[in-house]
Amino acid sequence: MEQSNGIEQFLRSMMAILASRAMNAAEKLHCGGMLIQTRIKSRNASVMLFDEDKLELKVVAASRKEIVGLTQPLSPESISGYVCTHKVPLLIEDIETDSRFCCRNGNYKTKSLISVPLLSDQERVIGVINVSDKEGGGPFTKSDLSALLEYAGWITPLIESLGMFERLEAEKERYQELAQELEIKQKELIIASTERSELVQMVVHDFKSPLSAVISNMDLLSYLGPSESQKPIIETAFKGASKLLEMIDEFLHIARVDECQERGVIPCPVSFLPLVHEQVEALMPLAREKNMTIENQCELDVQVLGDPMLLGHLVQNLISNAIKYTPVNGRIRVGMGTWESRRTADPTHTVLKFWVEDDGEGIEDRYKESIFDKFVRTEKSVESGIKGTGIGLFICRKIVNMFQGKIWVEDVTPHGSRFCVILFIPEET
């Protein structure tokens, strides 16, 4: 009856250790080991874990602190190696009479020892538990072996979680180092990008000033009355300089948009109707030069998510592009409409469709996607001699993408193109 009470007390103590929330896995392993060591009256005990990569056993816990951290190669000639290799427990009553381990005679104060494997649910060897030096000098018993095997079953999940925790800690440290390296690289890229953007804008802007002077002087030469032989030379130089000035303006616009994108523009509510009216009025003189009309059918006074400067540039590019490719005496229509979004990925539930329609020659189907790429122009536009760089629509797409919108071109009957943009109307608060 007294022995039964001792076992019950041992089990309660062991369960209290395993269920404790105040101890981590390593502390539970240590306390449980001391408890089982007291239970089977062993002076020395150790836990060795198996390293599959290095094929060695390492002491991770022991009653003798000086051996913690020691390793030994996996070999069936050693007791721990034998148990680990064969996945079977060993109860040795007299090490001197066991021919398998005769070389270990001098390592123990007493002749008896126990070694049991630590096996996972998949029967994978995790390590071994060794106990030796029975108090009183007698041999260990089968009851001691059973108690140690039961203890091994209890602590195996603890050891697995401990190993997982160590691996997670190692991975955490590695990821922290990578994160620090990435943060440094990101700062270097931001600095380099900012310096590059500033350099491009400075250089391009410095090109613009002398080029404007060249154009002014060419215009002055034309006004002063050049000879018939000089006129084509001045005209060619004037066209080339004007073309270069247009390209410089486009590159400045790209640099500004890229700068906004790198800085990370946060979309805010922008009143879209005044912005459209402003751009239509600003471009009306350019339309009058070609004797064309701009029908502004925009009436919805709504706000959209975006940036005033970028959205203004978007509308300006689309209208000026329509003026450029619409023939003399032509007509341009500007309009808008709203509807409820059906896509869950959209930023808001209501969208605005804005479009600019011209009655030019239209765009062939093979150009409908690539027309928004950098430097792309259709064969018809090049053959017609219309000035252009193929940058304007590229900038439009970059701006629209920054606000998660969409831009495309569709045909107009009987001829012409309609450039459409989707923007998002903020939710009412």
Residue 309 has pLDDT above 80, yes or no: yes
Of 118, 142, 175, the residue at which a domain comes to its end is: 175
Question: Does residue 167 sit in the same domain as residue 271?
Answer: no
Residue 252 has pLDDT above 90, yes or no: no
Of 175, 190, 209, the residue at which a domain comes to its end is: 175
Question: Does residue 29 sit in the same domain as residue 169?
Answer: yes
What number of residues does the chain have?
429
Domain residues for 384? 265-429
Helical H segments across 225-271, by residue range: 231-263
Tell me the helix, strand and coil percentages in the chain, rounded to 5: 55, 20, 25
Task: Specify if 241 maps to a domain.
Answer: no
Question: Does residue 426 sit in the same domain as residue 301?
Answer: yes
Task: Specify if 90 maps to a domain.
Answer: yes
Structural domain tally of the chain?
Answer: 2
Question: Does residue 43 sit in the same domain as residue 144?
Answer: yes
pLDDT computed for residue 204 by the predictor: 57
Task: Specify if 342 maps to a domain.
Answer: yes
- Give the CATH number, domain containing residue 158: 3.30.450.40
Distance from the Cα of residue 242 to its chain's centroid: 44
Question: Does residue 167 sit in the same domain as residue 272?
Answer: no
Of 130, 159, 175, the residue at which a domain comes to its end is: 175
Per-residue pLDDT reduced to its tens digit, 310-356: 999 999 999 999 999 899 999 999 999 998 988 888 889 899 999 99
**Mean of the per-residue pLDDT values of the chain:** 81
Q: Which range has highest mean pLDDT (180-189, 203-212, 292-301, 372-381)?
A: 292-301
* pLDDT level of residue 429 (50, 70, 90 thresholds): very low
- Give the CATH number, domain containing residue 387: 3.30.565.10
Residue 168 has pLDDT above 70, yes or no: no
Task: Specify if 190 maps to a domain.
Answer: no
Per-residue pLDDT reduced to its tens digit, 234-243: 888 877 777 7
Per-residue pLDDT reduced to its tens digit, 100-154: 775 554 555 778 888 888 888 778 888 888 888 888 878 888 888 888 888 788 7
| 394 neighbors 374 (Cβ within 8 angstroms) | yes
Question: Does residue 428 sit in the same domain as residue 301?
Answer: yes
What share of the chain in percent tops pLDDT 70?
80
Task: Specify if 117 maps to a domain.
Answer: yes
- If phi > 0 it is left, if psi is from -120 to 50 it is alpha, else beta; for residue 83 that is alpha
